[in-house]
Amino acid sequence: MLEKVVDSLLVEHEEYLEAGKLFLFTRKGIFQARINTADSDRRYLYRSLRTRDLDLARKLASQFYYEVEFRKSEQLPLRSKTFGQVIEEYIALRQAQYDRSERMPVNHSHQRETSIWMLRQIKRVSRFWLEYCGGRAVGRVDSTVLRDYVQWRRDYYHRKPQDQWPRNARPNPADKTLEWEITLAKTLLKYAHERGYRGQAQLPTWRFKSKTRIVRPAFTVSEMARVQWGFRAWIKSAEGDSERHYHRQLLRHYVDILAKSGLRVGEANNLLTSDIHPFTDGYGQKNYQLQVKGKTGARVVIPLKSAVASIEAVLELNQYQKSYKGSFRAHRKAKNENRADWFFRMLDGNRVITLIDQFQIYLKHIDTDKNRYGEKYTLYSLRHFYAARMLEKNVPVFDIARNMGTSVQNIELYYGRSVTALNKATMLGG
């Protein structure tokens, strides 16, 4: 018996099928199939048939051949990729974009294509998709697959023992989280479609729509007054520590400008000094125009006149930062970020990535980190405060929306709930 096995390994089988277009052969006794595709990229397609039985090998080889012929007739890619391979390729592309931006200064002629935060988010969410359907052919990821993902994702952590959950795991994903994860999958499918990995297969049209809207809490007028007045003592307590004193001043003016302009956090962080333009309004008073480029495109933002003092204070801080000769203990090893003329800048000259941690520490210090319902304030609560105040002042909602770079519908859905202006109450009361 052993001698027959040895002989079968020494004598390799070879034959042509399907009018010579299909070549059947063995390699170490295992049958393989090869098809000539006449493709200039790669001429042959190979498949291991994983059998030593000749009759079964012929049957499997013929199935392989007609599968390839079908893909040709339907203009489908002959070498299909799995969704997992597409995910890995897409992540490599975004990683290369980030690495390239790290080697170049970020300015108006070169904007960062992929931030480190977006790259981390893509990698984090991609792990779910790899586990869910990473082995599926990308052309077979359709609307049904996307729809079924929602329930799979909601059950994901509940299928595992709690001691296997990651430290910051959220077992019940919010609708907004699921909406973002579905959007990423559709982005990946569009990427695959543009590169011909899906052939003529239609892109999925199904979309997950969040049923619940998360409306961040907005500061009340009295709370905002407490926030602004509390900075004085907090900054004074840091005198003698130049680094802490600088960053507390920066946070104070950062908060004031966001609360009086409605800027998004990312828009504020990307501002350059060259984006700040002084002008005189129709009352002969000085103000500034902010040239902003955000997720809705470029626009001009006009802050409240009361923000002028903070804008000019930041410009003065920037002059201090340029002349600072001390060592910055929290120095980040960012490449070339300090070449750009950032408006909000850290003491090492780098752009502000996030001040949320400092803001939360300060809010806890003044006991104003949550509203009466226990909802936690964030930097985006400043944008909500601005919108609510403008609505209370009866500024036309269209003008508010244009200044904030959003839609009238979003103003009404997300910000209008916070408005309790006296004149509205008077009108409702007759």
pLDDT in tens, 239-248: 888 899 999 9
Q: For the residues 283-290, what does the mean pLDDT come to?
A: 94
Joined together, the tokens standing for residue 72 give: 């040709």
Asked if 382 contacts 255 with a C-beta cutoff of 8 angstroms, the reply is yes
Kindly report, residue by residue over 343-372, the tens digit of the pLDDT. 999 888 888 888 999 999 999 999 999 888
How high is the pLDDT of residue 371? 87
Where is pLDDT greater, at 67 or 247? 247
Q: What is the mean pLDDT of residues 128-133?
A: 95
pLDDT-based confidence at 41, cuts 50/70/90? low
- Tally of CB atoms within 10 A around 83: 25
pLDDT of residue 90: 95
Whether residue 314 has pLDDT greater than 90: yes
Distance of CA 204 to the CA centre of its chain: 21
* CA 81 – CA 77 distance, rounded (Å): 9
Extract the tokens encoding 353.
Answer: 């990535």
pLDDT tier for residue 1 given thresholds of 50, 70 and 90: very low
Q: Which residues of 205-220 are buried (b: 16+ CB within 10 A; e: fewer)?
A: eeebeeeeeeebbbbb
> What is the Cα gyration radius of the chain?
30
Q: Residue 218 has what pLDDT?
A: 83
Q: Residue 276: is its pLDDT beyond 90?
A: yes
With beta carbons less than 8 A apart as the criterion, state whether 388 and 418 touch: yes
Provide the percentage of residues in the chain whose pLDDT is more than 90. Answer: 47
Please report, for residues 94, 129, 153, 429, the alpha-carbon distance to residue 123 in angstroms, rounded to integers and kept in the order given: 10, 10, 16, 53
- Give the confidence band of 420 by pLDDT, cuts at 50, 70, 90: very low
Nearest-angstrom CA–CA distance, 248 and 235: 6
Region 330-340: what's the mean pLDDT?
47
Per-residue confidence at 9, pLDDT binned at 50, 70, 90?
Answer: very low
Residue 347: which of 358, 356, 339, 338 has the closest Cα? 338
Structure tokens at 131: 């586990």
Q: What is the pLDDT of residues 197-232, one digit of tens each?
A: 887 778 999 988 877 666 678 888 999 999 999 999
Q: Beta strand pairing status for 22-27 and 44-48?
A: unpaired
Model confidence band, residue 416 (pLDDT cutoffs 50, 70, 90): low
Taken in order 355, 360, 363, 364, the sign of the CA dihedral is negative
Q: 25: burial class by Cβ within 10 Å (0-12, 13-18, 19+)?
A: middle
Tokens of 157: 């952590």
Phi then psi for 52, rounded to 5 degrees?
-105, 0
Residue type at 123 in one-letter notation? K
- Higher-confidence position of 200 and 170: 170
Q: Can you tell me the distance from the alpha carbon of 170 to that of 159, in angstroms, rounded to the nearest whole number?
A: 13
The token pair that represents 237 in the structure block: 């307590």
On the CB side of 169, CA atoms within 13 Å amount to 17
Q: What's the pLDDT at 213?
A: 61
Handedness of CA 407, 413, 414, 419 (dihedral sign): positive
Residue type, 47: R
- 367's enclosing H/E stretch is none
Q: Is 51 helix (H, G, I), strand (E, B) or coil?
A: coil
